[in-house]
């Protein structure tokens, strides 16, 4: 992947995911469990 793609993945992981590593591809990110997304309970409980 290009350097800019890696930068975007790192930013996305830091901002939205609760993981201790940077995935090597978008497929790995899409295959993660939903519980790895930060604050998912808070976002859904407000909308219900």
- The per-residue pLDDT for range 31-43, each reduced to its tens digit, is 988 888 887 665 5
Q: Which residue has the higher pLDDT, 41 or 29?
A: 29
Helix ranges (H only) for 1-48 are: 3-16, 26-30, 40-47
Rg over CA atoms, the chain: 12
Interval 18-40 mean pLDDT:
86
């Amino acid at each position: 992947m290009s350097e800019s793609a890696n930068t975007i993945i790192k930013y996305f992981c830091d901002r939205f995911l609760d993981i201790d590593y940077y995935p090597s591809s978008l497929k790995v990110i899409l295959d993660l469990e939903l519980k790895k997304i930060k604050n998912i309970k808070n976002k859904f409980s407000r909308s219900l």
